[in-house]
Structure 1
Amino acid sequence: MPRLLLTGGQGMVGQNIRAHHQAKSWEILAPTSTELDLTDEHLVRAYIKANKPDVVVHAAGRVGGIQANMAHPVDFLDVNNVIGRNVIMSAWAEGVRDLINLGSTCMYPAAAPNPLSEDMILTGPLEPTNEGYALAKIMAMRLCNYINREDAGARFKTLIPCNLFGPHDKFDPKHSHLLPAIIHKVHQAKIDKQSTVEIWGDGTAQREFMYAPDLADAVWCAVTDIEALPELTNIGLGQDHTINHYYAEVARVIGWTGDFVHDLTRPVGMKQKLCDTSRAQEWGWRAPTSLRTGIEETYKFYCERYIG
C-alpha cells in the first residue's frame, strides 16, 4: 500500500482529505502538532527520512479570517513561512518525488482583475489585511517551482483553493472564515430570537466559497494524476456570490427570518476574489457540490458537533 504524509491532518482540509473514499487505498501518516513540530526543520526531515512517504500533501498552516490576520500578522507570515519551507525542503532532500502544496487565493494581487488566473500571481501588491499569510504561501509555491526547475524528477505541484467551508470548520467568529462565522451568527440569532444580524460593510463584496470535501476530492485527483496536473492550478467553482447572498442563503437553511443591518465602518477585504477554473477544467476536474447542499451539510455538522 502506498504511503502518504499529510501535514495539517487534524484541520478542516486534512480531516476531509482523510475522510475521502480514496484514502482507503493509502497508508496515511497524519501526525499531530505534538507528534511532529513542523516549525522544527530537523524533526521534520528526520520524520520524512524515517517514514519514507511516496507522496507529501502539505495542508498545514496558521489560518484565520480578517480579524485574526490583522491581529497577528507576524505569526501568519513567520509560522507559515517556516512550516512551508521545512516540509517542502525536507521532502525534496529525502528523495520524495511527488508533493502537493496547498496555496490560497490570498496570493493574488489585491487589484488583479477577476476572474483570477494563475499567471497573475506576483504581478501587483497584495491585500493588506492578509499580506503576511499571502507572502508565506507565495514563498512555498515558488519553492516548489524552483525545485521542479532544478530537479527534472521532482513533481512538486501547487493547488490554489478558493475560500472553503464544511465539516470540521472553525465556527468561532474570532478564528473562523466568513461562511462558518455566518452560520454561527445566524444560528445564535435564531436561538436568542434576535430580530437583526450585523453584516460588516455593505455586503456587496463577492466571494467564492467551495465545500471542503470538494477540495479533498481535487487533492486525491492530484495525487493519483500528478503527472498531468499543471504546476499551478486554481481549485474552485468559477462563480461567486455577494456576502449578502451568503447571509440570506444561510438564513434560509437555518430558518431565521429577521433582518440584516450593515456596519459600514468595518473592513471587508478585497471587493472580489473569483478563481478562473479553466485550467482545472482542462485537467478534468470540477467541484460537484452546490452551495445550498454544502451549507445544509455544514449546518448539520455544526449542530451535531457544537449544539447536540
Structure 2
Amino acid sequence: MQGKLLLTGGSGMVGRNIRAHDRAANWEILAPSSRTLDLTDAGAVRDYIAETKPDLVIHAAGRVGGIQANMANPVSFLEENTAMGRNIVMAAWRGGVRRLINLASTCMYPREAQNPLREEMILSGPLEPTNEGYALAKIMTMRLCEYIRREDPLAQYKTLIPCNLYGLHDTFDPKASHLLPAVIHKLHVARETGQAEVEIWGDGTARREFMFAGDLADAVLRAAEDLEALPDAMNVGLGHDHSINDYYRVAAEVIGWQGRFTHDLSKPVGMKQKLCATDRQEAWGWQAQTSLEEGLAQTYQHYLERTSS
C-alpha cells in the first residue's frame, strides 16, 4: 500500500473515476461526503486531517456550474471555492501532510490567450467574465500551493490543470450537462424517436479538447506516486482537439443514428478553439490512452445503464 489518501470531491465525476481506477487499489482512500466534511468550515477540515492523518491529499472538490449559474451567483462561486481550496491546503500543510495534488481548471487562462494554452500564460491577461469568480478561486489555490513550495521545499504541493472532460458518471441532464453528454442525450433521443435531422448550434467548426475522465484518473494516480518529478503546475490533456462537427459525427456512429445534421448559424458558438499545450506532460512521460470512439462508446453504455435504472 502507498498509504492513506484523502480525496475531496469523491462523489463527483472526477472523484468517482479516481476511486474506480486500478491504481486506486494501491491506497487506503478516504472520500468523505460534503455532509461528513464541510470543506468551507476551516475548523472541521483541520480536525478531520488531524484525526485521519492522510499521507496524500487530492483536492478534486468544488462548486461548479454553467454560465448562467456563474453569472447569477459570482459571490458564492468565488467565496465557496476559495474557502474550500484555502481550508484543505492550509489544513494539510499545517497538519504535516507532505504531498498534495490540487486539481484546477483551464478557466484560469486569460480570455484572449493564444492556443495552445501554456501554463506560464496564467495571470497574463483578463479572465473570461462569465466565470471569473470560479477562475479566481482556482488561481488562488494554485498560487497558495506554489507559495507553500517556496517556503517549504519538502512539501510536494502540485497543481494539475485538466482540459475539458467527459465520461462515466457525467451529468446527462440537458439543462445542466456540458457538450458531449448533451450530444449523447440529443442523438439517443433522435434515434429512439426517429428524427431525421439534428441541429448543431453555429457552423460546427469551433474546436474543443475533451479527454476521457478515466484518463485523467490515470494521470492523477500516477502523479500521486511521482510528485517529485512534476512541475508546480501542469496541463493534463490530449494535445489535439476536434471540431464540434466531429464530436457529433463520431457520437452518431457510436449511437447508431443515421440522420443528417443542420446548422443554426444564429446561435452562439463561444471561442473558436481551446487547446492545452502538453509540453510539460510529455516531458513527464504520460499521455491519454482512450480514443474518442472508445471513450464515447463507454460513456454511451454508461448513459444507457443510468437511464434504464
By the TM > 0.5 criterion, same fold?
yes
Does the alignment pair 1:141 with 2:145? no
| Paired AA for residue 151 in structure 1 | D
What's 2:273 paired with? 272
| Paired AA for residue 216 in structure 1 | A
Q: Distance in 2 between matches of 1:271 and 1:14?
A: 30
| Paired AA for residue 127 in structure 2 | L
Structure 1 residue 69: Cα displacement? 3.3
What's 2:184 paired with? 183
Q: Distance in 2 between matches of 1:111 and 1:289?
A: 30
What's 1:108 paired with? 109
CA deviations 1:219-274 (Å, max 9, x no partner) are 01110000111111110000001112111111111111223333444443322110
What's 1:166 paired with? 167
What's 2:224 paired with? 223
Q: Distance in 2 between matches of 1:287 and 1:205?
A: 22
Q: Give % identity.
A: 67
Q: Which shifted more, 190-199 or 168-177?
A: 190-199
| Paired AA for residue 259 in structure 2 | G
What's 2:235 paired with? 234
Contact 1:145 1:156 in 2 (8 A): yes
| Paired AA for residue 217 in structure 1 | D
Q: Which shifted more, 10-19 or 65-74?
A: 65-74
| Paired AA for residue 27 in structure 2 | W
Structure 1 residue 213: Cα displacement? 0.5
Does the alignment pair 1:47 with 2:48? yes
| Paired AA for residue 202 in structure 1 | D
CA deviations 1:28-86 (Å, max 9, x no partner) are 00001111111111111111111000000000012234444344433332221221111
5+ residue gaps, structure 2: none
Q: Distance in 1 between matches of 2:91 and 2:269?
A: 37
| Paired AA for residue 217 in structure 2 | A
Q: Distance in 2 between matches of 1:26 and 1:271?
A: 41
Does the alignment pair 1:84 with 2:65? no
Q: 1:73 to 1:306 in 2, by over 3 A?
A: farther
Q: 1:77 to 1:196 in 2, by over 3 A?
A: farther
Q: Distance in 2 between matches of 1:162 and 1:69?
A: 19
Q: Distance in 2 between matches of 1:46 and 1:90?
A: 8
- TM-score of the two chains, using structure 2 as the length reference: 0.95
Q: Distance in 2 between matches of 1:131 and 1:263?
A: 28
Contact 1:64 1:177 in 2 (8 A): no
**Where does 1:1-308 land on structure 2 (aligned, <5 Å)?**
1=1, 2-308=3-309
| Paired AA for residue 179 in structure 1 | L
Question: SS state of the match for residue 5, structure 1?
Answer: strand
- TM-score of the two chains, using structure 1 as the length reference: 0.95
Structure 1 residue 113: Cα displacement? 0.9
| Paired AA for residue 289 in structure 2 | P
CA deviations 1:78-113 (Å, max 9, x no partner) are 221221111111111111111000011111111111
| Paired AA for residue 198 in structure 1 | E
Q: 1:265 to 1:127 in 2, by over 3 A?
A: farther
Q: Distance in 2 between matches of 1:65 and 1:199?
A: 19
Q: Distance in 2 between matches of 1:278 and 1:113?
A: 15
5+ residue gaps, structure 1: none
CA deviations 1:155-199 (Å, max 9, x no partner) are 110000000000111111222221111111111122222233232
Q: Distance in 2 between matches of 1:73 and 1:267?
A: 22
Q: Distance in 1 between matches of 2:259 and 2:130?
A: 30
The CA RMSD over aligned residues, in Å, is 1.5
Question: SS state of the match for residue 180, structure 1?
Answer: helix
Question: SS state of the match for residue 227, structure 1?
Answer: helix
Q: Distance in 2 between matches of 1:74 and 1:189?
A: 39
Question: SS state of the match for residue 237, structure 1?
Answer: coil
